[in-house]
């Protein structure tokens, strides 16, 4: 969300400058007072959304002030600076504010969330991943999130063939651009699967056709945020699994279904 403010220049001419402000979630006024029952207490919601999102957007405003990205939405800024190695701080705040908003848009009160379900089209696509029902989908996504040793995201994404895939992206990794997925975490030990992925990446880098990887754009359909600030307030340092289970119970599939490509 942007707010336009006027500023006077040295020549006394007036121009408009945009600042990033907290987007208004549909149930925000209620959640501020009561939290999201079964998921966040009022303080937990305030930490995960209001305070953290404001922090991200404030820093994004400061970093883009007076630049060509000043009037862009976080999503646009994220894509614009993703390939610029000198703009990684800007990328971080743009990517995190965009994805945190993306995450909260798909959250609903439990009674409403439980009245929604994945669409037939979505489940048909998942059959190609050997996921035959919602329980299998839940196990797939939550297992990926629980087994991640650091913090970051699990995404269900749609690739350029309109097929669905699953990605674990560390830290501020996003699926939009190949080089920013951060699927390998070098801060911890590398398992066999990660090592093979690294070997495959090395081979691709030696391929003259590797630049085609930049065309491997993917669009997120579902995002699970497992950064520790999301759950430590209400669940403690060991409460990640309980938090993830509760997130699943609060997913609004009406929102998620609409993100899927429709003919």
| 233 in any annotated domain | yes
Backbone angles phi, psi at 244, to 5 degrees: -60, -40
pLDDT at 13: 40
pLDDT at 178: 79
35-to-10, 23, 93, 158, 216 alpha-carbon distances in Å: 47, 17, 25, 32, 38
CATH number for the domain spanning 237: value is 3.55.40.20
pLDDT at 7: 39
| 14 in any annotated domain | no
Q: Which domain holds residue 214?
A: 27-259
Q: Kind and range of the H or E element at 167?
A: strand 164-170
| 13 in any annotated domain | no
Alpha-helical segments (H) within 127-191 = 134-147
- The distance from CA 228 to its chain's CA centroid, rounded to whole angstroms, is 14
How many structural domains are present in the chain? 1
Backbone angles phi, psi at 38, to 5 degrees: 90, -5
Instruction: Count CB atoms within 10 A of the CB of residue 99.
Output: 27
Instruction: Count CB atoms within 10 A of the CB of residue 35.
Output: 17
| 172 in any annotated domain | yes
Q: Kind and range of the H or E element at 127?
A: none
Query: Got the DSSP string for 108-120?
Result: --HHHHTT----H
Nearest residue to 225 (alpha-carbon basis) of 112, 126, 148 = 148
pLDDT of the chain along its 263 residues, tens only?
555 443 333 344 445 567 899 999 999 999 999 999 999 999 999 999 999 999 999 999 999 998 999 989 999 999 999 888 899 999 999 999 999 999 999 999 999 999 999 999 999 999 988 999 999 999 999 999 999 888 999 999 999 889 999 999 999 989 998 778 776 665 566 656 555 666 666 666 666 665 555 556 789 999 999 999 999 999 999 999 999 999 999 999 999 999 998 76
Q: Rounded distance, CA 182 to CA 184, Å?
A: 6
pTM for the model stands at 0.85
Q: Rounded distance, CA 109 to CA 113, Å?
A: 6
| 7 in any annotated domain | no
| 17 in any annotated domain | no
DSSP state of 191: -
What length is written for the chain? Answer: 263
| 10 in any annotated domain | no
- In the Cβ-directed half-sphere of 262, how many Cα atoms lie within 13 Å? 6
| 5 in any annotated domain | no
């Amino acid at each position: 969300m942007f707010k336009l403010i006027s500023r006077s220049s040295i020549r006394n001419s007036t121009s408009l400058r945009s600042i990033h402000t907290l987007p208004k979630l549909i149930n925000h006024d209620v959640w501020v007072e009561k939290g999201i029952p079964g998921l966040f207490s009022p303080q937990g919601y305030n930490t995960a959304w209001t305070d953290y999102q404001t922090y991200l957007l404030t820093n994004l405003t400061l970093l883009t002030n007076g630049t060509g990205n000043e009037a862009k939405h976080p999503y646009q800024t994220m894509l614009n600076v993703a390939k610029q190695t000198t703009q990684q701080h800007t990328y971080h705040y743009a990517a995190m504010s965009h994805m945190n908003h993306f995450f909260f848009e798909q959250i609903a009160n439990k009674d409403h969330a439980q009245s929604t379900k994945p669409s037939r089209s979505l489940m048909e696509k998942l059959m190609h991943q050997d996921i035959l029902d919602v329980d299998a989908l839940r196990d797939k996504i939550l297992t990926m999130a629980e087994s991640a040793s650091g913090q970051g995201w699990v995404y269900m994404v749609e690739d350029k063939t309109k097929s669905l895939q699953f990605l674990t992206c560390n830290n501020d990794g996003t699926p939009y651009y190949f080089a920013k997925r951060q699927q390998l975490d070098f801060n911890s030990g590398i398992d066999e699967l990660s090592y093979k992925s690294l070997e495959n990446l090395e081979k691709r880098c030696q391929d003259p056709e590797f630049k085609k990887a930049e065309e491997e754009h993917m669009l997120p359909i579902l995002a699970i945020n497992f950064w520790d600030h999301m759950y430590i307030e209400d669940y403690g340092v060991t409460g990640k699994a309980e938090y993830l289970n509760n997130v699943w119970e609060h997913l609004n599939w009406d929102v998620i279904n609409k993100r899927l490509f429709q003919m």
